[in-house]
Chain A
Amino acid sequence: MSTRIDIFEDDFDAGAEIAALKAQAGGAGAIATFTGYVRGEANLKALTLEHYPAMTAREIARHVAEAKRRWPLLGVRVIHRVGRLVPGAQIVFVAVASAHRAAAFDACAFIMDYLKVHAPFWKQEEYDDGVRWVDAKASDDDAAAKWKR
């Protein structure tokens, strides 16, 4: 199974990533993707994301390995951007290839739910009158907890 995980500042082309994953994941009958964007909330000028470089890719790789253990996957691509991002910008991309759709959908949601509560990223919101750190949400813990077994 091909797994590629990148954390960087640059934007990415989701279509090109899907095509690359399809080329690597021979025999895939399904690719499920998730793309997260900076929400255009009132007065929000930008988000700045920082992370723990030595830990981030490793933590995501651990969750991808767990997804592979649970579902018959043919390939996984994860991209997470860091740095300053304006509303509408892409932040995160997860694409999962499998023979059939159920495994692709479920594994994509699983990787995203685990990334939200375990991958060491932090968001700071920037407004006209200052900045504030985003608080973690209990609903994200609940989303990850539903995969426990």
Chain B
Amino acid sequence: MKLLYFAWVRQKIGRSEEMLSPSSQIATVRDLAEALKARGGGYAEAFGDLSRLRAAVNQDHVALDTPVSPDDEVAFFPPVTGG
């Protein structure tokens, strides 16, 4: 699974992307976010309040209850502020 981070999520974690072999416990985007939060440090800060985060799976916006699989590209970011 490829993970991507943007804006302050990227800054708190200290990297823009990483590869992950998800455990079988991770069924949804929310499970993934909770597992990352449990790493502590910058991850705990970035994922501390999931209501402040948005996610995309394979470049489509998704809700946190969306299923994920090992081949997915999952991105975490704040609400967008373009335009």
**Whose C-beta in chain A lies nearest to the C-beta of B10?**
A50
Q: Are B8 and A55 in contact (CB under 8 A)?
A: no
Q: How many A-B residue pairs have CB under 8 A?
A: 70
Q: Are A116 and B7 in contact (CB under 8 A)?
A: no
Interface size for chain B: under 10, 10 to 19, 20 to 34, or 35 or more residues?
10 to 19
The A contact surface, by secondary structure, is mixed
**Whose C-beta in chain B lies nearest to the C-beta of A62?**
B60
Most buried by B among A55, A124, A136: A55
Q: Are A136 and B59 in contact (CB under 8 A)?
A: no
Whether A119 touches B82, Cβ cut-off 8 Å, given contacts A54-B59, A55-B56, A55-B75, is yes
Q: Which 9 A-B pairs have the closest CB atoms?
A: A121-B82, A136-B79, A122-B7, A55-B59, A116-B83, A134-B81, A123-B81, A133-B8, A119-B82
Chain B residues close to A by CB (< 8 Å): 4, 6-8, 56, 59-61, 73, 75, 77-83
Chain A residues close to B by CB (< 8 Å): 36, 49-52, 54-55, 58-59, 80, 91-92, 112, 115-124, 133-136, 140
